[in-house]
Structure 1
Amino acid sequence: MANAETAQSPEFKFRSSLVLNGLDKEQAAGFLRHQAEHHNLSLTQSSDGQLECVTPFGIVRLDTSGASPSLSIEAPSADILYAIQEDITSHLSELSETLASALTWSSIFSVGDYPPNFRLAEVVSVGRVNPIYTRVRIKADKLGNFANAGMHFRLIIPASGAVETDVYPVIGDNGQTVWPKGDKALHRPVYTTRAIDPAKGWLEFDVFHHDGGRANAWTKTAQPGTRLALMGPGGGTLLDTDKIVMAGDETALPAISRILRHLPATATGKVFMLVSDETEQVEITAPEGIELNWLHRSEARPRQLLQAVTALPDQAPGTYAWFASEKSEVKAARAHFTAQGWFDKEQSYLAAFWTAH
């Protein structure tokens, strides 16, 4: 690992910290290492054992010099600081809900307020794109970070169509989000921003159709003026690379579309997209040097995305590898990239967008 004393880290003005009561130093270090691996991020370590993780959105540091280990966060805005806090708290809950609920952030936010990354929104339009996607355009204030600081967000749909302001989340005494429960519980799935214009105050996302999907059912009744909310952004970064290989199935199409739209005009590479048939293909805008390949699913050819990627010749140094699909296929892709010496955390994104049952 690189030495943190020689690394150059950006300085951010918004800060928060958390004492990890209930975890020893080894457990705390293991937690941060696991999260860095989960998010394809690298860690640096100082001579005194302090760990630092520089993310695209901020910095997370672990200090084990005190009686109890502590985490600190630096971020460029209140929205992003809070989003990182929530991500850490969520992952700590996976270790122990009791542990996570007892922890208190020393943040700058006021108890009882909406979280700073929360936005009230209203539907502008809803329309079917193809047999598998419905496109929704919404309007909201202060969408700048949704354009620049992450591709994904949480869609917050009030229970039973309620619109009262008290059905939404607020900041609790411990700096964590307090979500409504019982008959006021909110559905809050994660979606990808497909297109956005912060100056005009609108954002578009696509809802994938699948049996039993609550958001899918919501699109059938949503109409212009329907109220909802957003929290974000969180996760997923737009890329600035000249060489790329991408592969993804239906669930990854919004992310692929957004990334390709923002690549440099000089970018080159290959993209493989897996759908059932031609009717599920969508319009994709990409630089001239990007080759778009549509694959149609066949039971006789399992793991078609993986096969397409493994059939490629060796890639030039610096080629970015992006792969998003079912969990087991992503795991196999990671093994392939690693065996080929292609897997580099700084030059890759491999994510399981769903899990087969």
Structure 2
Amino acid sequence: MTASQPTAPTAPTATATATADAPYHFFDLRVLRTERVSPSMLRVVLGGEDLAGMGSAGRDQRIKLFFPHPGQDAPVVPRSEDGQWYAAWCALDPGVRGIMRTYTTRDLLRDPDALVVDFALHPGAEGPASRWATAARPGDKLCVLAPVGAENGGYDFRPPPGTRSYVLAGDESALPALAGILASLPPEATARVWIEVQDPADRQHLATEAAAEITWVVRDPAAPFVDAFRAADLPDPATAPYAWIAGESATVRALRRNLVQDRGYDRKSVRFSGYWRPGTTEDQLLTTGQAA
């Protein structure tokens, strides 16, 4: 998940403490296979003996991936699972501790168990996560911090009961979450979806039972994604739509302003998340307290 310089999606919280409903555990996983989904998206399928204990809410379920440094066989992570893992991770030597990045679960499969994670790639702006994914081979080791139950604090898509109208928007870094959200919508729902991608071939089939109208926008500096969204015909705020926006931070803020200030959407019904910021890594965001 990169832009003009190495970047990373932001963390859900600085501490990512466990919830009473579902604590988070470290899972030692290995690469089973990789697949190039599109020019800008690489899929990594992971397996492990204890993967049966991992949970997911689907939708935009966040997990933390820990990558090894060059020369390490596996990432070094603290084994504290009492909500204090972050402090223990910070106490480790940065040159030794696992490189942490936040990603969205693309899928959690059963029979057999497998965790699917999609990596957005941008040539010329690779960060440690995309470099690892590009070089990944079967057997390579990875550690994942993830919930052990479906109900947990690691997802944001929480529409009020009875919601039938949705507005969804994001870039390629949000594609895994958008796929999970669309898959969760009931048949009676309607959704207007706007997705910005790097290449026309990055368009994906996103399965859903809802009546979804998906607009793909290929990135073009001469025709910004924000302008295309502002010109879109979106549901009337009187119909109480629920909006979810994620991707590059400045773009996300601009889309939220358009919905709340220009269109009159209820700010409480607009969920937004800056997954990444140009030139800023997750380590830097956490250090400055700006990860959210």
How big is the alpha-carbon RMSD for the aligned residues of Structure 1 and Structure 2?
A: 3.1
| Mapping for residues 132-151 of structure 1, pairs under 5 Å | 132-140=40-48, 141-147=51-57, 151=61
| Stretch deviating more after TM superposition (333-342 or 248-257) | 333-342
* 2:65–2:144 CA contact under 8 A, matched in 1: yes
Aligned length: 249
- Describe the SS at the equivalent of 2:194: strand
What are structure 2's unaligned runs of at least 5 residues? 1-10, 148-152, 280-292
Counterpart code for 1:154: K
Same amino acid, percent of matched pairs: 29
- Asked if residue 193 in structure 1 is aligned to residue 193 in structure 2, the reply is no
Structure 1 residues 288 and 336 mapped into 2: Cα distance closer, same or farther (>3 Å)? closer
* 2:34–2:136 CA contact under 8 A, matched in 1: yes
Counterpart code for 1:235: G
Structure 1 residues 277 and 163 mapped into 2: Cα distance closer, same or farther (>3 Å)? closer
- Describe the SS at the equivalent of 1:145: coil
- Asked if residue 170 in structure 1 is aligned to residue 79 in structure 2, the reply is yes
Report the CA distance between 1:238 and its aligned residue.
4.7
Q: CA offsets, 1:187-241, max 9 Å, x none?
A: 1111111111255321101111132311221123322221111012463245564
Aligned to 2:249: 327
- Describe the SS at the equivalent of 2:100: coil
Report the CA distance between 1:148 and its aligned residue.
5.4
Aligned to 1:75: 20
* 2:229–2:255 CA contact under 8 A, matched in 1: no
* TM-score scaled by length of structure 2: 0.74
Find the partner of 1:225 among 131, 135, 139: 139
Structure 1 residues 316 and 173 mapped into 2: Cα distance closer, same or farther (>3 Å)? closer
Report the CA distance between 1:285 and its aligned residue.
1.1
Find the partner of 1:342 among 251, 254, 265: 265
Report the CA distance between 1:78 and its aligned residue.
3.2
Larger radius of gyration: 1
- Describe the SS at the equivalent of 2:239: coil
C-alpha distance in structure 2 between counterparts of 1:172 and 1:297, whole Å: 41
- Asked if residue 252 in structure 1 is aligned to residue 174 in structure 2, the reply is yes
C-alpha distance in structure 2 between counterparts of 1:354 and 1:157, whole Å: 18
| Mapping for residues 1-357 of structure 1, pairs under 5 Å | 75-79=20-24, 117-140=25-48, 141-147=51-57, 151-160=61-70, 162-163=72-73, 167-171=76-80, 175-177=84-86, 178-179=88-89, 180-198=92-110, 200-210=112-122, 211-233=125-147, 235-239=154-158, 241-302=163-224, 304-305=225-226, 307-309=228-230, 311-313=232-234, 314-339=236-261, 340-345=263-268, 347-356=269-278
What are structure 1's unaligned runs of at least 5 residues? 1-37, 40-56, 59-72, 80-116
C-alpha distance in structure 2 between counterparts of 1:262 and 1:173, whole Å: 30
C-alpha distance in structure 2 between counterparts of 1:292 and 1:149, whole Å: 17
* 2:42–2:134 CA contact under 8 A, matched in 1: no
Aligned to 2:288: none
Counterpart code for 2:119: V
Counterpart code for 1:76: D
- Describe the SS at the equivalent of 1:189: strand
Structure 1 residues 255 and 324 mapped into 2: Cα distance closer, same or farther (>3 Å)? same
* TM-score scaled by length of structure 1: 0.62
Q: Which has the higher contact order (CA 8 A, sep 6+)?
A: 2
Aligned to 2:283: none
Structure 1 residues 242 and 309 mapped into 2: Cα distance closer, same or farther (>3 Å)? farther
C-alpha distance in structure 1 between counterparts of 2:98 and 2:57, whole Å: 25
